[in-house]
Amino acid sequence: MENLIKKAAKDLAKSKKVVVLTGAGVSVESGIPPFRGKGGIWEKIDPMEFAHIDSFMRDPAKVWNILIREMKDVIEKAKPNNAHIGLARLEELGILKSVITQNVDGLHQLAGNTDVIEFHGTFAFQRCLKCEKKIETSKVCLDEIPPKCECGGILRPDCVLFGEMIPPEHLFRSGKISRECEVMLVVGTSAVVYPASIIPVDAKESGAKIIEINPEKTPLTENISDYIIMGNAGEVLKEIVSEVELLL
Ligand code: OAD
């Protein structure tokens, strides 16, 4: 692993056009559970029953009680970890240009990254189903479930649920920057949810080097990634940044 960290540092230090794609694994060290694998949310509850737009529309109170309330609690407590901090440092060093994240927790922005594409939307706001007004999640009162907007409409997270489209502007911009980058870091994603899973494939086909950071192999590992650094994102990124700083 030591050699691969040095190799990644060299690949990053000599590139000025780096993009990172992140997934739930990047926030695990901040106390936010992933969706799949050990301790994953979808091990306990069925995503089609609790994270599909049709289920939400059928029974918003059930989805608020089982999933959204818990997410609010966990995300409100979370702070950026060494993975977010390392990625923010890579931007400061002029190496990392953009973050494409599947996460909705806002931790990349909190750590200091300035160009963050929230591919699956954000949990920072709840949106009224009736008047479309957005309300900061931290200001939403949970005395009544489902919570309502002042117009009486039901509030839903401003995130993409299963069965919904990715906002076209995010899809377009992610495609563009992934086709233009020289190196793509793919950190903490199982890379099984389409269309985010296709982003590293696009980057690779356009000539980018793909470096994965993940304790487990993914469907990208053998075919798309140039190499994988098998470890926790926080620890690995901290070491990579230290090595990069020695090279600059
Ligand atoms: P997953 O939960 O599918 O995958 C998490 C990945 O993080 C796995 O590959 C783990 O091996 C890895 N991992 C775990 N701990 C880690 C650590 N400390 N450091 C680095 N990696 C670690 O999460 P995503 O790939 O983000 O979508 O899932 C994609 C989408 O599926 C989510 O955005 C969400 C979900 O359903 C929607 O809700 C629309």
241: CA distance to ligand 1 center in Å? Answer: 22
Ligand 1 pocket list (CB less than 6 A): 23-25, 28-29, 34-37, 40, 47, 51, 102, 120, 160, 162, 188-190, 193, 214-216, 218, 232-233
pLDDT, tens digit, 9 for 90 and up, residues 77-123: 999 999 999 999 999 999 999 999 999 999 999 999 999 999 999 99
Confidence at residue 55, expressed as pLDDT on a 0 to 100 scale: 97
The residue to mutate among 21, 28, 228, having the most atoms of ligand 1 within 8 angstroms of its beta carbon, is 28
Confidence at residue 1, expressed as pLDDT on a 0 to 100 scale: 77
- Write out residues in the chain with pLDDT < 70, as ranges: none
Beta pairing class for 227-229 and 155-159: unpaired
CB 196 within 8 A of CB 102: yes
Closest atom of ligand 1 to CA, residue 47:
36
141 annotated to bind ligand:
no
CA–CA dist 248, 245 (Å, integer): 5
Structure tokens belonging to residue 47: 């995503």
CATH class of the domain whose range is 1-32+80-120+166-248: alpha beta
CA–CA dist 77, 202 (Å, integer): 35
The residue to mutate among 35, 43, 212, having the most atoms of ligand 1 within 8 angstroms of its beta carbon, is 35
Per domain, the residue ranges of the chain are: 1-32+80-120+166-248, 33-77+123-159
CA–CA dist 33, 77 (Å, integer): 13
Please report where in the chains the tokens 């190799």 appear, as a residue: 7
Question: By alpha-carbon position, which residue is closest to atom 29 of ligand 1?
Answer: 193
Confidence at residue 164, expressed as pLDDT on a 0 to 100 scale: 97
Confidence at residue 37, expressed as pLDDT on a 0 to 100 scale: 86
pTM for the whole thing?
0.98
> What is the SS3 assignment for 118?
strand
The residue to mutate among 99, 193, 199, 239, having the most atoms of ligand 1 within 8 angstroms of its beta carbon, is 193
Closest CA to 13 of 139, 152, 183: 183
Confidence at residue 2, expressed as pLDDT on a 0 to 100 scale: 81
CA–CA dist 178, 210 (Å, integer): 11
Active site includes 108? no
Task: Report CA-CA distances (Å) from 78 to 84, 110, 117, 179.
Answer: 12, 10, 20, 32
131 annotated to bind ligand:
yes
CA–CA dist 189, 187 (Å, integer): 6
CA–CA dist 156, 127 (Å, integer): 5
Beta pairing class for 18-22 and 227-229: unpaired
- Domain formed by 33-77+123-159, architecture: 2-Layer Sandwich (3.30)
131: CA distance to ligand 1 center in Å? Answer: 32
Confidence at residue 129, expressed as pLDDT on a 0 to 100 scale: 98
Alpha helices in 94-167 (DSSP H): 107-111
Phi then psi for 36, rounded to 5 degrees? -110, 165
Helix axes 82-92, 233-247, angle to 10 degrees: 30
